[in-house]
Amino acid sequence: MISELAQPARTKYVLFDVDGTLIDAVSNQRRVWGTWAERYGLDADEVYQVALRTRPLETFAQVAADRDPRECLATLHELEDEDVRSGIYTAFDGASELLHGLPPGSWALVTSNYEHRVRGRFLRTGLPVPGLIVDAAGVEEGKPSPVPYLQAAAQLGAESGDCLVIEDAPSGVRSGLRAGMTVWGVNADVAVEGVHRHFVSLREAVPHILAFASSPHGNAAV
């Protein structure tokens, strides 16, 4: 007789940030902001340091308050699109193995970038593209708001408690935590405040993420 207590295994979901988590885009971002700064006669290093901590419109307000923010944003988008076409991108070690090892439909991308750029970068690096990408255009509030990760979970039909967020940046970590999800940090020497687990590299995290995805009760989450 089959036990009445037997329960079907619950699907576990993995939600990934992109830049800095799966794809190493630091040099590209620095180059794009450097070119943008030159066009406006600004110090490239100073602009980049501000851009690291703020969203584009906030960056413009700090470094180019006398400029039309719409014009600034249009210029930035132009440079970023060109970089996707001509820049050199590298996936972090372990990214391809990890994404190919996850069950289809069990993972998604949650990015502050735009979907067409993410798809372009994945094409350049050979990474598989999931069925769901939540991007900057798809949400009213970006990270560190919980909205991006909550929206990804809703579209996957997942409960927050069944989701693992993989992030590298403080704003993304806060976003995942506020969404009530398990959050692991990667690709940093020092753990971001609040993460449930920390890995110096994505490669180090790969077996643990795959274990989480295959665990019906999420025992690998802590």
Q: In DSSP terms, which residues pair with 150 in a beta bridge?
A: none
Task: Record the tokens describing residue 143, joined without a space.
Answer: 């990270």
Q: Pairing mode, if any, of strands 90-91 and 182-185?
A: unpaired
Structure-token match 């719409």, residue found:
70
List phi, psi (to 5°) of 91: -80, 145
Tokens 């007789």 correspond to 1
Residue 185: strand, helix, or coil: strand
Q: Tell me, what DSSP letter sits at residue 19?
A: B
A 10 A CB-CB count for 84 gives 21
Q: Which are the catalytic amino acids? A: 17, 19
- Cα 201-145-114 angle, rounded to 5 deg: 70
Return the number of other C-beta atoms located less than 10 Å from residue 57's C-beta: 12
Query: Quick one: which of 114, 118, 137 has its CA closest to 128?
Result: 118
